[in-house]
Amino acid sequence: MKGFTKRLFFNRSLFRKQLLSYLITVLIPISMIVSVYAYTINEDLTSQIEQTSTASIQRTAKNLDNLIDQINYFALQLSFLPDMNNMLKNPVAFTLYDYYKLKEQLRSQINSNNLFYSVYIYSALNERFMTSNEGLFDADTFYDSQVLTQIRKEDRPHFWYQVREDYVTFYKDIPVTESMPLGTLVINMQKKMFLNTMYNLNIGDEERIFVVDKSGSVISSHPQVENEMIRQMITNGDAVSSSGTLQKIVLDGTKYFAHIASMKGDGWTLVNLIPYASYKAKLFEKLSKVLTIVLFVFLIGLAIAYAFAVKMYNPWKKMIEVLSGVGGGKSSSDEYMLVSGAINSMMATIKQNEPVMKDHLISDILRNKVSDKETISARLQQAGLQFTEPYYAVIVAVFDDLQSEDAEDPQRNLLIYSMVLETLKAYLPVEGTILDRSKLGFIVNLPQKGMDAGIRQRIHQTYAEMNAVGQEELNVSLQFIVSDADAPERLHLAYEQIRRMLNYKAVINRNDIVFVQDHKSELKFVYPLSLQKQLIHAVATMNREKANQCIGELFDQYIYKSKYPLEKLQGMIVVLMSSVLNELLKEGYDIGSLNEDVDIFKLNECQNNDELYQFMITHIHRIIAFLETLQDKQVTNLYVAKTIAYMEEHYANPLSITEIAERIGVSSGHLSRTFKAEIGKSMLEYLTEFRIKKSKELLSARSDSLQEIGLAVGYHDVQSFIRFFKKYEGMTPGEYRKSI
């Protein structure tokens, strides 16, 4: 097994490098993803801890605020007791019995509020303490000296507190309704009750909330050792960097997240300690899952990298075996030498095949298969092409065999290419390639951008010479498509423009030069709507001569001499032919049988505008022949025959469908449907065409006015006569009379 491993990995230097490169390609994104994910997990956990701690501190702070509110409310209640005010304002007149009653009122207040352990009322005028439990004391004999000391302090606030050994004592000047307080309300609350009030929430084991007063005294349900550590931390400011944020601290060798929040106004500070170990446990749990997935992905990546390395090394292995002449016993140090020698031999072979390389290089440039466009000029120079000018143009020659049997000669393409290239080289610095069966591509090196008149003249001269040779000696006609001169990096774009123009070669002359720049015309394209109407009418009336005339005018005006873009011209032909068929559909003809004979999109197979002209003539004649077949169909319906006879006999009179139906003896609706199904047009259309036909006979035979002729064929309004005549004939009656 060890021997196999050694042969597989360590005796193949190329294989090792390839495997390592693929493995690094896998490891880099995996490492980046793991780092980002670990950072995200850490931030999420920290954010969750901070949010939970903030909620706990906010609840504790709210409970503390509620406690202070209750003390203020209690002080306000006492301030409204008449006996309390009398005692504070006039203590001399206050008897022992009065003190007894006031004490009982105070006891009833305390008994109704189980938060307070005991209450003192200090009277400033006679320095006496009245307690809720023990009774009345003079200041000198009062047993709670700490309270007396606090009250006698100068510059004390109206409300303050004091954390003592067993109690939290609150001081409040009373009565609160007076501007000058006459006494002090002292409330003692047991620390346990205070903490129960603060911790009126579910605190988990992972949370430790400490309440610290402004003097640094700590109140909590935790051991005194921890309280002392918190006091020292707050007093010394060791861990308090900014209130309201999580900070890492170490207390007694244990790491915590400390969340410290100061309450505004009252001087309390709340400290929440979250054990860092709980954070680490959650982080480890999540990262373990991530690392498990990463390990799985890494193993898959390793397998893929190994498979790729094997696949990529196999060609090298075979090449080295061929070059070395043995079955694979060469050491890794010989691999590069073998391949280097093969490359040198290959370069010598390449030099011998430079003509073929030129051909392929030009083909690749035109077809956009050169990735680094900036090196095109250098690569042309390396291929032996002496192009010294900075700009390049593309010429594509398309040839069409005049005799179909010549197209089968396999040597003709090479012969035509040689003739075109040699003729071009006599006038221009050029090199080319055979693009396909009937298309040649050439790169021309020019000194300036664009295509000036001098270069155009030389191209025309070259084209005239080679086209004459092509027609006389090779039986081919040539078309030239020429791009503008531009930077070498844009050669593929120039060829793409030409290639798109060749999609519209049906509208290009058989023997012509097309400059791409000439077909970027900004002239507004005017669709030949008048010619379309005339063509549709000629087809509808089955007038082949008129249809041929319309197509001829269309080609003279738009195709043969036009500077419109080729795509607009070809699109115009498609729309025109589609309009003819659409008109037949609107007239109710079933043209399904025409689909095989009339395929508009076969015009893309036309090689030049001569073939396009013949294509249109052929298809229009097929449509007319289709209509003639329908017209020759025997009218089998007796009602239709009677209708036609009646309309042709009374065409000079005003006629309506209802009147005709009454004469025939059938309903107007049934007669209309039957007539349209049999004749292919409505009764009014048939009557109108018949009237127009008669009017043409009168226009040819008489010199009567248009109004008289209109009356003679059933139109009592000369404008209606003129309008219908123009609609069906494409010209007015007056114009028709002049044309005959």
Q: Is residue 393 part of a domain?
A: yes
8 A C-beta contact, residue 648 and residue 688: no
Q: What distance in Å separates the CA atoms of residue 521 and residue 540, rounded to the nearest whole number?
A: 35
pLDDT of 524-545, one tens digit each?
778 888 888 888 888 888 888 8
- At CA 246, angle to CA 241 and CA 247, rounded to 5? 55
Please give the helix or strand (H or E) that residue 186 lies within, else none.
strand 183-190
Q: What distance in Å separates the CA atoms of residue 285 and residue 389, rounded to the nearest whole number?
A: 70
8 A C-beta contact, residue 331 and residue 11: yes
**96's tokens:** 């022992």
In this structure, the answer to whether residues 271 and 360 fall within a common structural domain is: no
**Residue 340's pLDDT is what?**
64
**Residue 243's pLDDT is what?**
57
Q: Is residue 405 part of a domain?
A: yes
8 A C-beta contact, residue 59 and residue 201: yes
In this structure, the answer to whether residues 389 and 485 fall within a common structural domain is: yes
Q: Is residue 180 part of a domain?
A: yes
3-class secondary structure, 269? strand
Q: What own/partner pairs with CB < 8 Å and gap ≥ 24 does 655-660 have?
A: 655/687, 655/714, 657/683, 657/684
Q: Is residue 135 part of a domain?
A: yes
Q: What distance in Å separates the CA atoms of residue 193 and residue 485, rounded to the nearest whole number?
A: 96
8 A C-beta contact, residue 424 and residue 433: no
Outline where 482-522 has alpha helix (H).
491-502
Q: What distance in Å separates the CA atoms of residue 707 and residue 705, rounded to the nearest whole number?
A: 5
**Residue 328's pLDDT is what?**
45
DSSP code at position 477:
E
Q: What distance in Å separates the CA atoms of residue 102 and residue 306, rounded to the nearest whole number?
A: 95
Could you tell me the CATH number of the domain that includes residue 470?
3.30.70.270
3-class secondary structure, 367? coil
3-class secondary structure, 394? strand
- Which pTM value belongs to this model? 0.40
In this structure, the answer to whether residues 80 and 205 fall within a common structural domain is: yes
**263's tokens:** 């309450």
**Residue 116's pLDDT is what?**
84
CA atoms in the 13 A half-sphere facing the CB of 547: 24
What is the number of domains present in the chain? Answer: 3
In this structure, the answer to whether residues 270 and 360 fall within a common structural domain is: no
8 A C-beta contact, residue 694 and residue 714: no
8 A C-beta contact, residue 202 and residue 183: no
Give the bridge partners for 271, in sequence order: 210, 260
In this structure, the answer to whether residues 363 and 510 fall within a common structural domain is: yes
3-class secondary structure, 463? helix
8 A C-beta contact, residue 174 and residue 197: no
DSSP secondary structure string, 52-100?
Answer: HHHHHHHHHHHHHHHHHHHHHHHHHHHHT-HHHHHHHH-GGG--HHHHH
In this structure, the answer to whether residues 237 and 365 fall within a common structural domain is: no
3-class secondary structure, 184? strand
Give the bridge partners for 275, in sequence order: 256
**171's tokens:** 């001081």
By C-alpha distance, which of 414, 450, 439 is closest to 498? 439
Q: Is residue 248 part of a domain?
A: yes
Could you tell me the CATH number of the domain that includes residue 643?
1.10.10.60
Q: Is residue 431 part of a domain?
A: yes
Give the bridge partners for 688, in sequence order: none
**Residue 344's pLDDT is what?**
64
By C-alpha distance, which of 668, 662, 694 is closest to 683? 668
- Intervals of the chain under pLDDT 70: 1-14, 200-207, 237-245, 265-266, 316, 319-320, 322-355, 401-410, 510, 519-523, 561-563, 595-597, 630-637
How many CB atoms lie under 10 A from the CB of residue 674? Answer: 17
8 A C-beta contact, residue 177 and residue 85: no
Could you tell me the CATH number of the domain that includes residue 84?
3.30.450.20
The b-or-e profile of 376-414 (16+ CB within 10 A means b, else e) is bbebbeebebebeeebbbbbbbbbbbeeeeebeeeebbe
By C-alpha distance, which of 394, 377, 385 is closest to 357? 385
Q: What distance in Å separates the CA atoms of residue 71 and residue 170, rounded to the nearest whole number?
A: 8
| Enclosing domain of residue 387 | 353-518
In this structure, the answer to whether residues 443 and 360 fall within a common structural domain is: yes
Give backbone dihedrals phi and psi of 662, rounded to 5 degrees, phi first. -65, -40
In this structure, the answer to whether residues 508 and 359 fall within a common structural domain is: yes
Cα distance between the two ends of the chain: 106
Q: What distance in Å separates the CA atoms of residue 620 and residue 548, rounded to the nearest whole number?
A: 9
Q: What distance in Å separates the CA atoms of residue 353 and residue 348, rounded to the nearest whole number?
A: 9
Strand-by-strand arrangement of the 159-163 sheet: 136-138, 128-131, 118-123, 183-190, 167-174, 159-163
- At CA 325, angle to CA 319 and CA 328, rounded to 5? 70
Give the bridge partners for 249, in sequence order: 256
Strand-by-strand arrangement of the 476-482 sheet: 430-436, 439-446, 391-401, 476-482, 512-515
Q: Where is the domain boundary, 518, 542, 574?
A: 518
Q: Quote the strand ranges of 103-178, DSSP E.
A: 118-123, 128-131, 136-138, 159-163, 167-174
**594's tokens:** 């025409």
In this structure, the answer to whether residues 89 and 232 fall within a common structural domain is: yes
Q: Is residue 34 part of a domain?
A: no
Q: What distance in Å separates the CA atoms of residue 271 and residue 287, rounded to the nearest whole number?
A: 29
Q: Where is the domain boundary, 462, 491, 518?
A: 518
In this structure, the answer to whether residues 370 and 502 fall within a common structural domain is: yes
| CB-based contacts of 424, cutoff 8 Å, min separation 6 | 395, 430, 432, 442, 444, 462, 466
By C-alpha distance, which of 585, 581, 601 is closest to 539? 581
How many CB atoms lie under 10 A from the CB of residue 101? Answer: 12
Q: What distance in Å separates the CA atoms of residue 90 and residue 79, rounded to the nearest whole number?
A: 15
**Residue 30's pLDDT is what?**
83
| CB-based contacts of 151, cutoff 8 Å, min separation 6 | 122, 171, 184, 186
**Residue 688's pLDDT is what?**
92
DSSP code at position 137:
E
Q: Is residue 312 part of a domain?
A: no
DSSP code at position 559:
I
**Residue 4's pLDDT is what?**
40
In terms of Cβ atoms closer than 10 Å to its own Cβ (0-12, 13-18, 19+), residue 681 is middle
Q: What distance in Å separates the CA atoms of residue 510 and residue 502, rounded to the nearest whole number?
A: 12
Q: What distance in Å separates the CA atoms of residue 601 and residue 293, rounded to the nearest whole number?
A: 58
**Residue 96's pLDDT is what?**
80
Q: Where is the domain boundary, 518, 538, 558?
A: 518
Give the bridge partners for 433, in sequence order: 441
